[in-house]
Amino acid sequence: MSIDNRPKHIVITGPTAGIGRASALSLARDGADLTFLCRNLEKGEALASEIVAAGGTTPTVIEMDMARLDSVRAAAESVRQLAKPIDVLLNNAGVINSHRRVTVDGFEETLAVNHFAPFLLTGLLLPSVREAAPGARIVNVASGAHHFVRGMQFDDIQSEHNYKTFDVYGRSKLANILFTRSLAKRLKAAGVTVNCLHPGAVATDIGKQHGEWVAKVLHLLLKPFFRSPLKGAETSLYLCSSNDVAEISGAYFNNCEVERPKPWAEDDAAAEKLWNYSEQCVGFDYPVTST
């Protein structure tokens, strides 16, 4: 796994559990130069040590709390200071909450972690991604949970008036797909592809960050249908590595194949509205154009 005789540099959010961990271990076995962005540094360092013990290149571990925009900015700056082009940015981390939480920045936490954080992180790291073009990739782990909603519900996007766990989570995953479409259009001429995926029902630690009952209930209800984390990581790995998708951008994948998402995930007007809203909320203007 190399470009210009150097290992691919792959930045991964949420690499210490579930499909993120499975992705990291697989990419390390393929010889990638990994940078981990972790909420828990201890777990990140333990995974890095595991990779080194298996003969892999030592990953860089950087602390990042996706519920804090200042932490996202600091982590992005630490990545930039590595002075390495980014061949693949894998936005993998996510959260699901049983009740409404508000971040230190004043945003509903599910939307903040699942959408605002990767939106800001991707924008801040975009110069390093573009350094690896042509051929650089951005991969966003979305979800079939966007089926739960029929749009972004901009009139209550922060869930201040109505909080339903699966609606809120589904809306954040819809945001991932709309973001993917918008960014792919803006990077069309930049030699950078942007795609997203549904990993399937995977036994992961999502929702356990706060000891959420929803994670326990989900695990019990869905256990018979769960894929292993490695199986769930297959599409992420495919989008990170396969030559088959080198020319595809702006698509939604399921089981390593392009799949059309629900119509509200192809709403370009909503995608632009979300883009403008996101820039305003995170206080960042993207350094990209459609040309």
Active site residues: 169
Alpha carbon distance 66, 47 (integer Å): 19
d(CA 83, CA 95): 30
Burial 58-71 (b: 16+ CB within 10 A, else e): ebbbbebbbbbbeb
CA-nearest of 30, 35, 33 to 14 is 35
- Secondary-structure percent of the chain, ordered helix, strand, coil, rounded to 5: 45, 15, 40
* Spatial CB neighbours of 263, under 8 Å, sequence gap ≥ 6: none
| Location of structure tokens 């990077």 | 187
Place of tokens 């975009």: 126
> What's the full length of the chain, in residues?
291
